[in-house]
Structure 1
Amino acid sequence: MAEVHAEHRGTYGRPRIVAALHRRGRRVNHERVERIMREHRIAGITRRRRRSLTRQDETVAPVPDLIGRDFTAEAPGERLVGDITYLSTQEGWLHLLVTWNHAPEWI
């Protein structure tokens, strides 16, 4: 049990340790694993709660959809589509902005 916990850099808690032991062919009861972990002070790492980077202003009216989600265009530059996302890295948050003239066929 401690081996599984150590192999995964101390991140595995009771549910994952039980699953890993089952995959290795060991029949264990989740309550026993929980008790042994508590006795040996073994604990998994709890993931941080995701929090939104932006707060929506409830008083502002939504922006109208001017193109009615029809992204087809007769010529380049008629309708531009874009999206932005935030990526967590070891050096901090990066902002990824993507724009294109024509949406792919799958939209």
Structure 2
Amino acid sequence: MSGQSNHVGPIVFADETARAQLLEHGECVTFRVDDRTAGETWWRESRLGEKEGDCLVAHIDAVDPADESALEPYRELSGFATVGDWQAAIAELNGAMDSGHLYRVTVDGDSDV
């Protein structure tokens, strides 16, 4: 064992719909403007909020959030009823943009979630 951890910085689920998807189904595909580290971490509801549970973050792909066909394959795991609803949430949290990244977040079965 090298002594190094593969834990990465926590991930925030500020959107209620995405957070409900994570809590109810144990996984969520989420959009992030910036490329972030993937690996074992924990999630919280706000930037400075307390830990809600352990999770694993995996990068899916870079996407244009305005491109419905890029989001549609992941829409069900996003928790949103339609791609349009997901796009509206992305815009509300991030403003206008033409690129970002999709991540699959799965909760750790041993966590409190």
Q: TM-score range by the shorter chain?
A: under 0.3
Give the greater-gyration-radius structure (CA).
1
TM value normalised by structure 2:
0.25
More helix by share: 2
Q: What TM-score do the two structures reach when normalised by structure 1?
A: 0.26
